[in-house]
Amino acid sequence: MRFQVSAGGPSPVTVVLEPSGMEYVLQPGDHFEFEWEDVTGDLIGTIDHQPHTITIGEGSGRARMWNSNGDELSMLG
């Protein structure tokens, strides 16, 4: 499953990756591409949205993420 996470409002959004705790800041109008691969089990992952934070939790399988330039980002904290 692949999806886009974007900062559509006027303020930056912090994206937190769990369980590693890695954090990235998305500037207004920017986005990340996120992908869960090789999914096994019932729970792929979780997404929690707060006013200025989006937390993405890896449930099972392998996750990958890219910035808007197409550069792969580290998922490890």
Which amino acid type is present at position 45?
G
Residue that wins the pLDDT comparison between 56 and 59: 56
pLDDT at 71: 97
How large is the average pLDDT for residues 22-51? Answer: 87
Cβ atoms within 10 A of the Cβ of 71, count? 8
Q: pTM (2 decimals)?
A: 0.86
Rg of the chain over all Cα atoms, to the nearest angstrom: 12
Distance (Å, whole) CA 32 – CA 23: 12
How large is the average pLDDT for residues 46-65? Answer: 87
Q: Which of 27, 13, 11 is nearest to 55 (CA)?
A: 13
Distance (Å, whole) CA 53 – CA 51: 6
Distance (Å, whole) CA 35 – CA 62: 8
Structural domain boundaries in the chain: 2-70
